[in-house]
Amino acid sequence: MNKGRVIYEDEAEPHFRLAYPHPALAPFVEYYFEVNQPATLANPLYVNALPNLSNLLCISLRPQSWLSINQRSGVLNSVKGSRFLGNLTDLHLSIYPASVHEFYVKFKPGLLGRLFRIDPAEVENANADLTNFMRLPALEEHLQTVSSFQARVSRMESFLVKHCTSFEPTYRFRIVQTVLNRFDQISGSNLHLNQLCHELGVSYPSLHRYFTEVLGYSPKYCQKLLRFKKGLHLYKRYGSGYAFEEIGYTDFSHFAKDARQLTQRSPVEL
């Protein structure tokens, strides 16, 4: 079977579209994207989803199902209809056949679970019918009846403004998002947590409690996930000769070890 590949936000793909949120929604939404497979497509699209902190709202625009396969356990799920998709602890292979058309909202880590009042443990690896959490017919119809991705983004933003902007982030939630933003910077990937705690005026035990409450994971684990995603992106662009110590690895072999631990694959297989 095709092992798939990771697709990054800056890579142009013929059947993917991506857009970033209006500034008013930037504290809540990372970006919007969609997968639109033509009915005449000969071969399915194989995409690797790395272990991550993502919370996704998926709105189905056509009835065609797609497959998600956990690469550690081998468990296969047939995914159909609008879904709530939680963060992943294992590498998953997504297989999108012809006629799949899905619109996604990628929320800031931990936010969608908070909006739906779901415990972080329940968000982990969640693949749930979205109708369990919200009324969908009007939203689905609005997105299905417009003809362009940008129009769908506009409709979705109108919907989100009413629901997200009333959410008041707690102090702990804001601290967690600030730390994640620092991790996501190249310099932040090599940032020592004690230094960051000092800059923010919080102790590491407090920061650990905040992360556990909001995301269900330690700061060190979250830093490891984001550093690996960045490292894989740089590896795909520059190869093993990249100076991996610039983003917090001791060398390339350290990066390759993380690849095995997190995905059970070598970097070249991703």
Q: Read off the pLDDT band of 185 (50, 70, 90).
A: confident
Q: Are residues 25 and 99 in the same domain?
A: yes
Q: Tell how many helices (H) and how many strands (E) occur in the chain.
A: 9, 10
Q: Is the pLDDT of residue 188 over 70?
A: no
Q: What percent of the chain has pLDDT over 70?
A: 98
Q: What's the whole-number mean pLDDT along residues 183-192?
A: 73
Q: Are residues 140 and 217 in the same domain?
A: no
Q: What's the whole-number mean pLDDT along residues 42-51?
A: 93
State the average pLDDT for the chain: 92
What would the two tokens of residue 137 be? Answer: 């017919």
Q: Are residues 159 and 248 in the same domain?
A: no
| 3-class SS shares of the chain: helix, strand, coil, % to 5 | 45, 20, 40
The C-alpha atoms of residue 45 and residue 232 are separated, in whole angstroms, by 20
Decide which of 164, 186, 207 is a domain's last residue.
Answer: 164
Q: Are residues 37 and 126 in the same domain?
A: yes
Q: What's the whole-number mean pLDDT along residues 79-101?
A: 95
Specify the 3-state DSSP secondary structure of 173.
Answer: helix
Q: What's the whole-number mean pLDDT along residues 85-99?
A: 96
Q: Are residues 158 and 189 in the same domain?
A: no
What would the two tokens of residue 240 be? Answer: 């093993």
Q: Are residues 118 and 186 in the same domain?
A: no
- Length of the chain (residues): 270
- Residue 39 falls within a domain, yes or no? yes
Specify the 3-state DSSP secondary structure of 160.
Answer: helix
How far CA 52 is from CA of 106, 206, 217, in Å, comes to: 12, 23, 11
Q: Are residues 126 and 229 in the same domain?
A: no
CATH number for the domain spanning 182: value is 1.10.10.60
The pLDDT value recorded for residue 189 is: 65
CATH number for the domain spanning 37: value is 2.60.120
Decide which of 133, 164, 195 is a domain's last residue.
Answer: 164
Amino acid at 267: P
The pLDDT value recorded for residue 15 is: 81
Q: Total domain count for the chain?
A: 2
Q: Are residues 133 and 37 in the same domain?
A: yes
The C-alpha atoms of residue 251 and residue 242 are separated, in whole angstroms, by 9
Q: Are residues 139 and 35 in the same domain?
A: yes
Question: What is the pTM (predicted TM-score) of this model?
Answer: 0.92
Phi-psi region of 216 (alpha: psi -120 to 50; beta: other; left: phi over 0): left
Q: In the chain, how long is the greatest CA-to-CA distance? A: 57
Q: Is the pLDDT of residue 14 over 90?
A: no
- Residue 9 falls within a domain, yes or no? no
Expressed as residue numbers, the domain containing 264 is 171-269
Q: Is the pLDDT of residue 31 over 80?
A: yes
- Residue 103 falls within a domain, yes or no? yes
Q: Are residues 178 and 159 in the same domain?
A: no
Q: Are residues 47 and 127 in the same domain?
A: yes
What would the two tokens of residue 264 be? Answer: 């059970």
What would the two tokens of residue 66 be? Answer: 């797609």
The C-alpha atoms of residue 36 and residue 115 are separated, in whole angstroms, by 27
Q: What is the pLDDT of residues 93-129, one digit of tens each?
A: 999 999 999 999 999 999 988 888 889 999 999 999 9
The C-alpha atoms of residue 55 and residue 88 are separated, in whole angstroms, by 9
The pLDDT value recorded for residue 186 is: 66
Angle between helices 137-145 and 149-164 (to 10 degrees): 150
- Residue 6 falls within a domain, yes or no? no
* Residue bearing the bigger pLDDT, 15 or 52: 52
